[in-house]
Amino acid sequence: MEALLLAWFDTNGRGLPWRGTRDPYAILVSEVMAQQTQVERVVPRWQRWLERWPTIEALAHASAAEVIAEWQGLGYNRRALNLHRAAQHVAAHGWPDDLTELPGVGRYTADAVACFAFGRDVLPVDVNVRRIGERTGATFSSAAAQALMDLGATVCLARIPRCDICPLAGACPSRGRRYEPLRKQGAFEGSFRQRRSLALRAVIAGEEPGDHEAVAALARDGLVLVSESGVSLP
């Protein structure tokens, strides 16, 4: 199956800009940004981020306030703080052998950086890679990592897989099977997540956020500081 997949990838692979680098910092930024964010939204933000902070040392020397402000629009702002802390760790101590030692870096992100930047023989397993493995029953090597991610994102979809154009369909025991809808995250509009976002944007703009509950949640995550003089970025 892997040979069929790689042949498909040669023609159909997505031309994502971070695939043209082996810089672990650039790859780490792409992986953190892509968590729970559509790739199409990530591409221009990744490029802008690297223009502003082209090296991990540059990011490490930025202020947390600058990093939080630059992150706006990507959501889940704790990712920005963790990325900043990871940069500070690497700038001070170098890249650890176990990348999960970095703040906010879990097993998948560690394996992705290890594979794509450091060339280690490890297959990073995200939801797309796991889905293909479960449906096909096949095993794949680290050489197929990018191809698996693209197949899962564009063809072997969660709810209605496009089996008619899948290069693995001929040998896939799940071909043609429909799946129950996955439980989706609640709507952003009107949610507490939206309130947090609006409060943080107000602080960035130098305005009074007003929403004390949202501010308290932001403060617990280290995204804002609350003092007698008001609310500010860290």
Cα separation, 60 vs 7, whole angstroms: 40
Q: In angstroms, rounded to a whole number, what is the distance separating the alpha carbons of residues 23 and 10? A: 22
Task: Say whether 31 is catalytic.
Answer: yes
- Which residues fall within 8 angstroms of residue 98, CB to CB, at 6 or more apart? 110
Please enumerate in sequence order all residues whose Cβ is within 8 A of that of 50, keeping only pairs 6 or more positions apart, or say none: 26, 29
Token pair of 53 as six digits:
């902070």
CB-neighbour burial class of residue 24 (10 A; exposed 0-12, middle 13-18, buried 19+): middle
Residue 6 has phi, psi (to 5 degrees) of -65, -35
Tokens of 164: 């008619």
User: H or E segment at 88?
Assistant: helix 78-93
Catalytic residue among 2, 31, 40, 101: 31
Backbone φ and ψ for 226, nearest 5 degrees, come out as: -115, 125
Q: In what helix (H) or strand (E) does residue 71 lie, and over which residues does it extend?
A: helix 64-71
Q: What is the CA radius of gyration of the chain?
A: 20
Q: Which residues are catalytic?
A: 31
